Copies of this chain bind each other. A is one copy, B any other.
Amino acid sequence: VAVDAMGGDLAPAAAVDGAILAAERGIPVVLVGDRDRIRACLGARDLPVVHAPEHIEMGESALAAVRAKPASSIAVALGLVADGRASSMMSCGHSGAITVEAVRTLHSQDAAHRVALAVSLPRLDGGRLILLDVGANVDSRPEHLCEFAELGVAWARTRGVAAPRVGVLSNGEEPTKGNAVVRATVEALEARGANHVGQVEPGPALEGACEVLVCDGFVGNVAIKAMEAAVALVTRSVGAESPAAVHGGGLLLGVQGVVVIGHGRASAVEVCAAIQLAHRSASAGASPTDPPARGA
């Protein structure tokens, strides 16, 4: 797993510490970034390092930064995946820049398809809910949400779900509920013969109404961040420790390679979880980046 050591608010310390934890669990890692700063964090530890002379800051414009910094830690790490020298890549850096660079370096599976960032959330019934898009795009159209459904179904299948049900994230469950994009997406899924359950609210989704829940990337990103903020509010207000993040990291679906995007504020333990997600995804018998099944 190529680990972008420069990404995230706590980089490089949290990224390096997380990589050390992952290595202790038997996951082969390579750290990518400023060699001197990484070695300072590593101390006496011996992990492979690949130098990258540049890194992209969180506040930069994604497109401009990718163009201006061809030797960023993100670009170098993705290059290792493209060259087959790493199975996968994990970064807690600028998600927009990672997405743009991943499409450029690894290419999308299908030029006609958008990529999407997906997270796997625990459900109350013990299953998992794949939610996408949580931020690779904004202002997506119904046809994009149908593509997200195909990507999500393909990922769910690699995790052993034989017939994943697709829901469309909504403010209500009746066919009249949702905004214009939601209603058109449900109609399009129906027309494609998808295995879908129509509009689904967040509560029923986490209770087990579906395995794949699609939404526009703006809506999904706000929903995930609202979940995390509410959990932090409730746990801190009762004086408890904040629990681990709601999800271990987002998997970028639709590119030819495994790319995991971790939280910008990820701790070492959360970085390790995101590296594990990358490793698991790359090791899965069926790659999550297989071409999506039609009719999903």
Contact = CB atoms under 8 A, between A and B. Distances in A.
Interface of A: 59, 61, 122, 124, 135, 138-139, 169-172, 174, 176, 178-180, 182, 201-203, 205-206, 215-219, 221-238, 243, 246
A231 B230 contact: yes
A218 B174 contact: no
A178 B227 contact: no
The dominant DSSP class at the A interface is helix
A34 to B, nearest CB: 24
How many identical subunits does the complex contain? 2
Given A171-B135, A171-B221, A201-B225, A234 B231 contact: yes
27 contacts: A122-B233, A122-B237, A124-B233, A124-B236, A138-B179, A138-B180, A139-B179, A170-B222, A178-B218, A179-B216, A182-B218, A201-B225, A202-B226, A202-B228, A202-B229, A203-B228, A206-B232, A215-B222, A219-B219, A222-B222, A224-B226, A227-B230, A228-B230, A230-B230, A231-B234, A234-B235, A234-B243
A176 to B, nearest CB: 6
A264 to B, nearest CB: 10
B222 A246 contact: no
A229 B243 contact: no
B135 A174 contact: no
Contacts of A176: 61
A258 to B, nearest CB: 24
